[in-house]
Structures are given as C-alpha cells and as structure tokens.
Amino acid sequence: MESKAAYTYYAAFIPGLQDVVAEVIKERLTDVTLRKLLDGAVIFETETSYDKLNFFCFNNIFAVISIIEHRECHGTLVPAASAASALETHINSVINKSLTREAAGIISSNSKKIQSFRIAVSRENTPAAIDEKLRAAAEGYISRLSGLKVNRSSPDAEFWFLFRRVESPPNFSVFMKRLTLRPSWEKSLHSGELPPPLAWTLCRLAHLKYGDTVLDPFCGYGSIPDAALKHFHIAKFIACDNNGEAAAYTAARFKKRKEGEFVLHKADFLSLPALITEKSIDVVITDPPWGLYREIQDERFYERMFGVFAKLIKDGGRVIVLCANKEELLGAVPACFKLQGSIPILLSGKKAAIFQFVKKGTDTC
C-alpha cells in the first residue's frame, strides 16, 4: 500500500504557550512529529492536509518548502548582518533550483482564487530588508514556477523567508507559503479585543465541559464568549461589560443565539450578584483591566472582582484570568481560591500571564 504524503507546517502562536500548543497538537494528530518547538512557533510533520487540521490556537499556519540550518551562525545573540547573510544564502538556494520536486509542488499548487503573491522576509518576527536584486530574482523564480503575478501591496498569497535563533544550535531559516489567507489580527480586531486563538486557549485551559455555565464579567467585544460557544459544548454563557460601544457590538454579535444560551448584562461587574443566582457559575474566563497599561481608579478593583467571583462561583468552580499585574492580582485573591498555575505570555509586545484558580469551600472566604 502506498504511503500518504507527509506535510510539514510552520505555525505561529502567542509566545509562552508552547507547552499548551504541543499538547493540543499531540492530542489531535496521532501521527505527528514535532520537529521544532519554539517560543511562539512550532514546526511539525503529519500526513494530515491543511484543510483537515482544524486548529484554533494558531495565529498563522504556513506550508514549509525548505529549511536550512546555519551552524556558522550560532548563539542566542545573532548580529543582524549574520542573520541577513543566512537569509540571503537561503534565498539563493531557492533561486538556484535546489528544491525537491515536492517542495516545488508547494509553490506551484494554488487555487484559482490565488492570482498574485509577494515575498516577506523576517528576522525573529521582525521585517528584514534584503538586496533588491535578490528579491526581484526570487520573485521571478516563484512567478515562473507558480504562474502567479507579483503584487507587493495587496497580494492573494505570501511566500516567507524567516530566520530564527534557538537556544540549542544550530539556528535556522525556513522558506514557506502562508496558508491562512486573512488580515492580521492587529488590523481586524477592535482596540483591546483578544485575538481568537488566545480566547480559544483560555477556554481550553478552563477545561470547559458539557453543561457548564460560564461567565465573563469584562467581555468587551466578545472574543471569549465567541470561542466558548463555537468550540466547546457549554450550556450557557453570561457576559457583562459597562462599555456601551463594546456591549452594543457584543449584543449584535450574539443576537442569533438561542434564548438562554447567551445572556448579556450591560452593567458594572459589581452589580452581577444582584443579577445572577448565587453559586450558579461553573467557570469564569475573563480579561479584566490590567491596571498596568491602563489606570484603574479603584484601588480595591481586584479584591472586589474576586469578591464577586466568591459569591457567584460554585465550590470547585474554575477561574481563568488574563492579567499583566501579577502582584496586585495575587495580593487580592481570598483564601477560598487556590492558584493552580500561571503561564507567562507576550501579547502585542506586552508581558502578561494566564492565571488558573479553583474555588475551595466558602468557609475560607
């Protein structure tokens, strides 16, 4: 029996979540081989084609065309000139047609909707400059092989040359085709709105299960309830926000949900104990104001927040909080909540962490 073709993917995600991502990949792909697990990216091999991957934790997914290891460019502090030289070496190798037939097939295989492309060059997730003649030569090669036209401003597809350093050498560069055809999250989301992959990850870390009633008292534009209701079999989601614009958007976003499946309170979170039955919430998943990049007027904000949680969450209930101010947050946690773990992440260039709590008996609150 002829074996299936193996696909190699490069997937980018929010830095800090590599252990979660590795767990998800191994759980969903029984034949997977993790070739490189990095902070913010993973390279894996599987027989599963892109249309069947069905992952929600990635920002972007790429089809890997070729990888070159750069043993002469080692160490965790790589000069820009060395990284540029490594990238140019890789680009020249492509132009000189050193690709395998399978790799060339990734370039030439495109849907009828794809008519144009551009080349992106990146060093450590930062755009990098290359010699213009070299770029033009690479564009010409890809254009001849794919039949696509060059469009540097608004293309249908992107081919990437990316350099990465790793803690354990050698460093490497990768040539790949972007498979996720959509605008970047920064361009498509409202200010302060969580990227969908992060919202999905928060829901996974909450271990949502069938029949759960979930609360987000600071729902904003609705990323967390959207992830919970789309991808997890919960019974009910209760959302709350006192920002009129965000609440109006969220109300419209979920207006087609079944009655009782989604409830939105346009109110301050402190009023929730009067609106929600005591000890009726199984899980809280939320991204409250951090108090670090935006000032919080209430000095007891986090204390009051956990006071509300203590009233509404069932004993044994779970709490997932995304926050950047670790000291203030943890200093406000009452004795009836146990910290089970925290995961440091980097969100839009800002340091934050995902905190996981479980509620013990009310006698300790």
DSSP 70-115: ETTS-SSS--HHHHHHHHHHHHHHHHTT---HHHHHHHH---TT--
**What does the pLDDT read at residue 166?**
85
**What does the pLDDT read at residue 131?**
94
Name the CATH topology of 189-364: Rossmann fold (3.40.50)
Cα–Cα distance, 203 to 194 (Å, whole number) = 12
**What does the pLDDT read at residue 183?**
78
**What does the pLDDT read at residue 1?**
44
**What does the pLDDT read at residue 3?**
56
**What does the pLDDT read at residue 363?**
63
**What does the pLDDT read at residue 264?**
97
Which residue, among 184, 183, 255, 196, has the nearest Cα to 226 in the 3D structure?
196
Cα dihedral: 49, 51, 55, 59 (round 10):
100
**What does the pLDDT read at residue 364?**
67
Listed in order, the ranges of the chain carrying CATH 3.30.2130.30 are 7-187
Please state the pTM of the whole predicted model. 0.94
Residues of the chain with pLDDT under 70: 1-4, 72-78, 291-295, 362-364
**What does the pLDDT read at residue 241?**
96
**What does the pLDDT read at residue 74?**
56
Highest CATH level, class, for 7-187: alpha beta
**What does the pLDDT read at residue 168?**
76
Listed in order, the ranges of the chain carrying CATH 3.40.50.150 are 189-364
**What does the pLDDT read at residue 279?**
97
**What does the pLDDT read at residue 87?**
93
